[in-house]
Amino acid sequence: MSGCCDGNVERYKELQAYIDGLPDKKGRLIGVLHKAQGIFGYLPREVQEFIAGALGLSVAKVYGVVKFYSFFTMVPKGKFPISVCLGTACYVRGADDIVSEVEKILGITVGQVTPDGLFSLDTLRCVGACGLAPVMIVAGRVFGRMKPSDVEGIIAEYRAKAGDSEKDKACEGVCCHG
Amino acid sequence: MINLNIDGKYVKVPKGATILDAAKQLGIEIPTLCHLDLHDLGVVNKAASCRICVVEVKGRRNLAPACATPVTEGMEVHTNTMRVLNARKTVLELLLSDHPKDCLTCAKSGQCDLQDLAERFCLRENRYEGGAQSTYKKDVSPAIARDMDKCIMCRRCETMCNDVQTVGALSGVNRGFNAVVAPAFDMPLEESVCTFCGQCVAVCPTGALVERDYSWQVIEAIADPDKVVVVQTAPAVRAALGECFGMEPGTLVTGKMASALRQMGFNYVFDTDFAADLTIMEEGAELLDRITRFLSGDKSVRLPILTSCCPAWVKFFEHQYPDLLDVPSTAKSPQQMFGAIAKNYLAEKLGIPREKLVVVSVMPCLAKKYECARPEFAVNGNPDVDISITTRELAHLIKRANIDFMSLPEGDFDSPLGESTGAAVIFGTTGGVIEAATRTAVEWLTGKPLDDVNFTALRGLEGCREAKLKVGDLELHIGIAHELGNARKLLDSIRAGTVEPFHAIEIMACPGGCIGGGGQPYHHGEMEIIRKRAQAIYREDEGKTRRKSHENPDIIKLYEEYLGKPLGEKSHHLLHTHYFKRHKI
């Protein structure tokens, strides 16, 4: 497995341990894919081949399930994944304008990642916060009653965060945080 | 037993039967599309995804799919109410709204279940015209062409590929209008684990999966004055070709087929059966060699020997059992043995270079198209077999050549590659290759002629069979599997050591063997057709004066004049091959 050799050894080990811990391998594909996406951040071809081998399924079957559920992705997500809810309530309150605004600011379309790897954009169906419609989620944080004009500020905030953590990295081992 | 009433008629059916089964018993033909039931072979597709078979059940709010709804006591079913007919019409209109309307140029035209239904329902307009149309890339491999825009997601191909054959090349991917059946990562079929058995094509109700058609190349070759074009016909073709001309399934058309091929302009009309006899000489000798070495205590001998005539089976074990590559016989398939002999022995006899000779094969098979394109079966880029066409393609060629097939005289094959025995004919059905090998091996082992050449214990349509034959002091343990899923079961049990060791195992990829091949006239789920083809094959065998491969006079002559002896140096070079490890995706 080529994926095993490019610094992913620990991740594959973790996935293997999870699979080994299953009482029964039958009917576990979706759970395993969920776990794998949690570990790797996405489901590249090598990971799918690994899972097929470990569960005794055909690679085609695994791929079929990955392609059916919109939750699963073969494209790595950004550091700050953005999801815009397109459920009925959000949609009627202008969620598509939010999507367009994000696309415009980031220069990507739904399903893509920015070249710097910071942001990815997806849409989803109802997060159960219809009272806050339209809703946008960035890296797990929910922003409610969104207006297109709010988007720029939120993205700038996360960009700044990314900058900070880069600085953190730069000082690592030197001291600073006094 | 369960009592129910369908369209006012009472019927009694066993518990667990579906409404569709019960209706069939009454002679009520409920239309189906995704449904497929080759019961005797254990092949059932019950996706209930197309909804064309819906019926009204009294007391039930919604319509019920007849193919997947079990009967209950006292059930009252109506199959042709206005509500039902309206629902069926809607289903059909929706299916057609996302289906290309290129019936005139579609390879499945005239054989298409969807087209038949549109005709049956007198669809003259479509209320949903102009809906979304998928535009999936077309995928053409050497054997199978996929046009997923024509896929109606019945999942029959998936049932064949994953459940019956356990190949696992296909899966439903994506959703909605983008949903298709595809190999992993949407890779071309050719790069996948696909064995080209063609069973997906055999059951596809539309033109989504069809064979790669090479019939025009045949016309071009025949028209080329610089070429000498020879044809070989596989045993299973003669038992099915007649169906394409409206003849009863199981009608033997050997003589008419030879006449048709001659009229089409082939320079020589030969028979793959000749090469099947040759295969038995080599495979039989190999079997005998392994058994005698084994009996004399040679521990390095690999038993059981597995037959290697079926190219789908060969590709299957290359992908699925790469650690067992030294177990199958190294003998080439009859198609490739024929090609090697034609391009060497025959070309020499005719005094022409191999490049001038075009070898066409007519096969019940799609994997043969792939097999003849395998690089190891070519010399300096010139393949031993140039073009492989199916039974269906041959029927089209005959029709295109304005030949009235029914009134053709009984012709004969040419010499020297046209003579064959009954042992070769039965290659076309499950159990036939091993019976043919047994006829020869037993005589060679005992040195005495057989009292009875009919080894009926080896016949039948059960998926996995075994038989024990007493040969002198030895008890030969023989296994037979048809369909790759059954082959897998047998191999796994051998690996696990849960079965008594076998000496020899015959494996054919298709249901019923080659008679049920992916290149045969479409059976449309009628199992009886495959059974009748098998009977025809055994009839042809019984009608032959010679029924043991080693008694074929032209085979004897070939060894005397050219090859020397079975497993000899020349045989090894021309008639044997080797296998490759392949990935499992």
Residues A64 and A102 in one domain: no
Distance from CA of A110 to the nearest CA of B (A): 16
Q: Which of B168, B174, B175 is closest, CB to CB, to A60?
A: B168
Q: How confident is the model at residue B136 (pLDDT cuts 50, 70, 90)?
A: confident
**Structural domains in chain A (count):** 2
pLDDT tens for A95-142 read 999 999 999 999 999 989 999 989 999 998 888 899 999 999 999 899
Q: How far is CA B474 from CA B307, B437, B497, in A?
A: 21, 16, 21
Mean pLDDT of chain B: 94
Q: If you average pLDDT over residues A69-75, what whole number do you get? A: 89
Going by C-beta distance under 8 Å and a sequence separation of 6 or more, which residues neighbour residue B300? none
Query: Which residues in chain A are contacts of B171 at CB distance < 8 A?
Result: 58, 60-61, 63-64
Q: Given this model, what pLDDT does residue A175 score?
A: 38
For residue B416, say if its preceding peptide bond is cis, omega within 30 degrees of 0: yes
Fold of B2-97: Ubiquitin-like (UB roll) (3.10.20)
Q: How confident is the model at residue A4 (pLDDT cuts 50, 70, 90)?
A: very low
* CB burial of residue A33 (10 Å; 0-12, 13-18, 19+): buried
Residue B333 among the catalytic residues: no
Candidates B332, B372, B514, B540; catalytic one: B514
Q: Which residues pair with B479 in a beta bridge?
A: B466, B505
For residues A7 and B475, what is the distance between their CA atoms, to the nearest angstrom? 56
Closest by alpha carbon to B179, among B199, B200, B208, B212? B208
Residue B371 among the catalytic residues: yes
Distance from CA of B537 to the nearest CA of A (A): 36
Binary contact (B174, A59; C-beta < 8 A): no
Residues A93 and A164 in one domain: yes
Binary contact (B184, A59; C-beta < 8 A): yes
> Apex CA B347: angle with CA B341 and CA B350, to 5°?
130
Q: Given this model, what pLDDT does residue B538 score?
A: 97
Binary contact (B174, A68; C-beta < 8 A): yes
Residues A54 and A89 in one domain: no
For residues A139 and A155, what is the distance between their CA atoms, to the nearest angstrom? 11
Q: Does a structural domain hold residue A175? A: no
Q: Does a structural domain hold residue A93? A: yes
Q: What is the CATH number of the domain that holds A114?
A: 3.40.30.10
Q: Given this model, what pLDDT does residue B38 score?
A: 73
Q: Given this model, what pLDDT does residue A176 score?
A: 37
Query: Which residues in chain A are contacts of B174 at CB distance < 8 A?
Result: 67-68
Task: State the SS3 of B431-470.
Answer: CHHHHHHHHHHHHHHHCCCCCCCCCHHHCCCCCEEEEEEE
Phi, psi of B268 (to 5 degrees): -135, 135
* CB burial of residue A160 (10 Å; 0-12, 13-18, 19+): exposed
- B285-331+420-575 is classed CATH 3.40.950.10: yes
Q: How far is CA B561 from CA B128, B204, B238, B346, B556, in A?
A: 70, 47, 30, 12, 9
Residue B329 among the catalytic residues: yes
Going by C-beta distance under 8 Å and a sequence separation of 6 or more, which residues neighbour residue B91? B50, B51, B52, B54
| Torsion angle (degrees, nearest 10) of CA B405, B406, B412, B413 | 30
Q: Does a structural domain hold residue A73? A: no
Binary contact (A60, B584; C-beta < 8 A): no
Search chain B and give the residue with CA nearest A63: B184
Residues A84 and A143 in one domain: yes
Q: Does a structural domain hold residue A19? A: yes
Q: If you average pLDDT over residues B117-131, what whole number do you get? A: 88
Q: If you average pLDDT over residues B127-132, what whole number do you get? A: 77
Interface of B with A (CB under 8 A): 162, 167-175, 182-185, 192-193, 584-585
For residues B430 and B65, what is the distance between their CA atoms, to the nearest angstrom? 35
pLDDT at B497 over 90: no
Distance from CA of A106 to the nearest CA of B (A): 27
Distance from CA of B159 to the nearest CA of A (A): 12
Residue B368 among the catalytic residues: yes
Query: Which residues in chain A are contacts of B175 at CB distance < 8 A?
Result: 68
Domain of A21? 2-68
Q: Does a structural domain hold residue A18? A: yes
Candidates B282, B283, B443, B506; catalytic one: B283
Distance from CA of A64 to the nearest CA of B (A): 4
Residue B576 is given by DSSP the state B
How is chain B split into domains, by residue range? Answer: 2-97, 285-331+420-575
Q: Given this model, what pLDDT does residue A169 score?
A: 55
Search chain B and give the residue with CA nearest A56: B168
Q: Are B142 and B194 in contact (CB under 8 A)?
A: no
Q: Given this model, what pLDDT does residue B474 score?
A: 87
pLDDT at B49 over 90: no
Q: If you average pLDDT over residues B322-348, what whole number do you get? A: 96
For residue B304, say if its preceding peptide bond is cis, omega within 30 degrees of 0: yes
Residue B141 is given by DSSP the state -
Q: Given this model, what pLDDT does residue B172 score?
A: 94
pLDDT at A2 over 80: no
Q: How far is CA B77 from CA B22, B47, B80, in A?
A: 10, 21, 9
Binary contact (A63, B170; C-beta < 8 A): no
Query: Which residues in chain B are contacts of A50 at CB distance < 8 A?
Result: none
Q: Given this model, what pLDDT does residue A106 score?
A: 96
Which of B159, B166, B185, B319 is the mutation pick for testing A, counting most A CBs within 10 A? B185
Closest by alpha carbon to B347, among B334, B338, B356? B356
Q: What percent of chain B has pLDDT over 90?
A: 88
Q: If you average pLDDT over residues B529-538, what whole number do you get? A: 96
For residues B357 and B366, what is the distance between their CA atoms, to the nearest angstrom? 23
Query: Which residues in chain A are contacts of B157 at CB distance < 8 A?
Result: none
Query: Which residues in chain B are contacts of A111 at CB distance < 8 A?
Result: none
Search chain A and give the residue with CA nearest B180: A64
pLDDT at B26 over 70: yes
DSSP secondary structure, B482-525, as one string = ESHHHHHHHHHHHHHT-SPPPSEEEEESSTTSGGG-TTSPP-TT
Binary contact (B168, A63; C-beta < 8 A): no
Question: Which one has a higher pLDDT value, B176 or B140?
Answer: B140
Q: How confident is the model at residue B223 (pLDDT cuts 50, 70, 90)?
A: very high
Q: Given this model, what pLDDT does residue B573 score?
A: 96
Q: Are B505 and B481 in contact (CB under 8 A)?
A: yes
pLDDT at B415 over 50: yes
Search chain B and give the residue with CA nearest A45: B185
Q: How confident is the model at residue A171 (pLDDT cuts 50, 70, 90)?
A: very low
Binary contact (A63, B173; C-beta < 8 A): yes
Q: Are B145 and B136 in contact (CB under 8 A)?
A: no
Question: Positive or negative, the Cα torsion across B197, B198, B204, B208?
Answer: positive
Distance from CA of B41 to the nearest CA of A (A): 23
Query: What does the radius of gyration of chain B's CA atoms come to, in whole angstroms?
Result: 25
Which of A67, A72, A125 is the mutation pick for testing B, counting most B CBs within 10 A? A67
Residue B495 token pair: 């690996």
Q: Which of B171, B174, B175 is closest, CB to CB, to A60?
A: B171
> Apex CA A63: angle with CA B320 and CA B367, to 5°?
40
Residues A40 and A91 in one domain: no
Going by C-beta distance under 8 Å and a sequence separation of 6 or more, which residues neighbour residue A8? A40
Q: How confident is the model at residue A144 (pLDDT cuts 50, 70, 90)?
A: very high
Residues A46 and A86 in one domain: no
Q: Does a structural domain hold residue A74? A: no
End-to-end CA distance of chain B: 46
**How many Cβ contacts (< 8 angstroms) between chains A and B?**
45
Q: Does a structural domain hold residue A125? A: yes
Binary contact (B173, A48; C-beta < 8 A): no
Residue A134 is given by DSSP the state S
Q: How confident is the model at residue B132 (pLDDT cuts 50, 70, 90)?
A: low
- Half-sphere exposure of residue B494, counting CA atoms within 13 Å on the CB side? 26
Tally the residues of chain B: 585
Mean pLDDT of chain A: 88
Distance from CA of A68 to the nearest CA of B (A): 5
Q: How confident is the model at residue B495 (pLDDT cuts 50, 70, 90)?
A: confident
- Beta strands of B212-319 (E only): which ranges? 228-233, 268-271, 305-306
Which of A19, A42, A68 finishes a domain? A68
Query: Which residues in chain B are contacts of A29 at CB distance < 8 A?
Result: none
Q: Does a structural domain hold residue A176? A: no
Residue B49 among the catalytic residues: no
DSSP three-state, residue B229: strand
For residues B311 and B336, what is the distance between their CA atoms, to the nearest angstrom? 10
Residue A77 is given by DSSP the state P
End-to-end CA distance of chain A: 45
Query: Which residues in chain B are contacts of A49 at CB distance < 8 A?
Result: 585
Q: Given this model, what pLDDT does residue A172 score?
A: 45
Q: If you average pLDDT over residues B171-186, what whole number do you get? A: 92
- Beta strands of chain A (E only): which ranges? 80-85, 119-124, 136-138, 141-143
Q: Given this model, what pLDDT does residue B176 score?
A: 84
Binary contact (A58, B185; C-beta < 8 A): no
For residues B395 and A74, what is the distance between their CA atoms, to the nearest angstrom? 46
Q: Which of A49, A53, A61 is closest, CB to CB, to B171?
A: A61
Q: How confident is the model at residue B285 (pLDDT cuts 50, 70, 90)?
A: very high
For residues B347 and B81, what is the distance between their CA atoms, to the nearest angstrom? 67
Q: How confident is the model at residue B47 (pLDDT cuts 50, 70, 90)?
A: confident
Q: Are B41 and B529 in contact (CB under 8 A)?
A: no
Which of A22, A44, A68 finishes a domain? A68
Binary contact (A68, B172; C-beta < 8 A): yes
Which of A24, A44, A68 finishes a domain? A68
Residue B486 token pair: 């059954």
Query: Which residues in chain B are contacts of A57 at CB distance < 8 A?
Result: 168
Q: Which residues pair with B480 in a beta bridge?
A: B465, B506
Candidates B243, B371, B419, B443; catalytic one: B371
Q: Which of A48, A53, A64 is closest, CB to CB, to B172?
A: A64
Q: How confident is the model at residue A168 (pLDDT cuts 50, 70, 90)?
A: low
Residues A63 and A8 in one domain: yes
Which of A29, A33, A47, A58 is the mutation pick for testing B, counting most B CBs within 10 A? A58
Interface of A with B (CB under 8 A): 45, 48-49, 53, 57-64, 67-68
| Torsion angle (degrees, nearest 10) of CA A68, A69, A74, A75 | 130
CB burial readout B464-490, b (16+ within 10 A) else e: bbbbebeeeeeebbbbbbbbbbbbbeb
Residue B277 is given by DSSP the state H
Q: How far is CA B378 from CA B177, B354, B384, in A?
A: 43, 11, 6
Residues A16 and A55 in one domain: yes
Residue B283 among the catalytic residues: yes
| Torsion angle (degrees, nearest 10) of CA A19, A20, A24, A25 | 40
pLDDT at B305 over 70: yes
Residue B464 among the catalytic residues: no
Q: How confident is the model at residue B17 (pLDDT cuts 50, 70, 90)?
A: very high
Binary contact (A57, B192; C-beta < 8 A): no
For residues B256 and B230, what is the distance between their CA atoms, to the nearest angstrom? 17
For residues B161 and B202, what is the distance between their CA atoms, to the nearest angstrom? 11
Q: If you average pLDDT over residues B39-66, what whole number do you get? A: 88
Query: What does the radius of gyration of chain A's CA atoms come to, in whole angstroms?
Result: 19
What one-letter code names the amino acid at B236?
A
Q: Are B13 and B21 in contact (CB under 8 A)?
A: yes
Distance from CA of A2 to the nearest CA of B (A): 13
Q: Are A74 and A43 in contact (CB under 8 A)?
A: yes
Binary contact (A64, B193; C-beta < 8 A): no
Residues A59 and A111 in one domain: no
DSSP three-state, residue A176: coil
What's the gap between Cα B397 and its chain centre?
20
Closest by alpha carbon to B146, among B194, B87, B98? B194
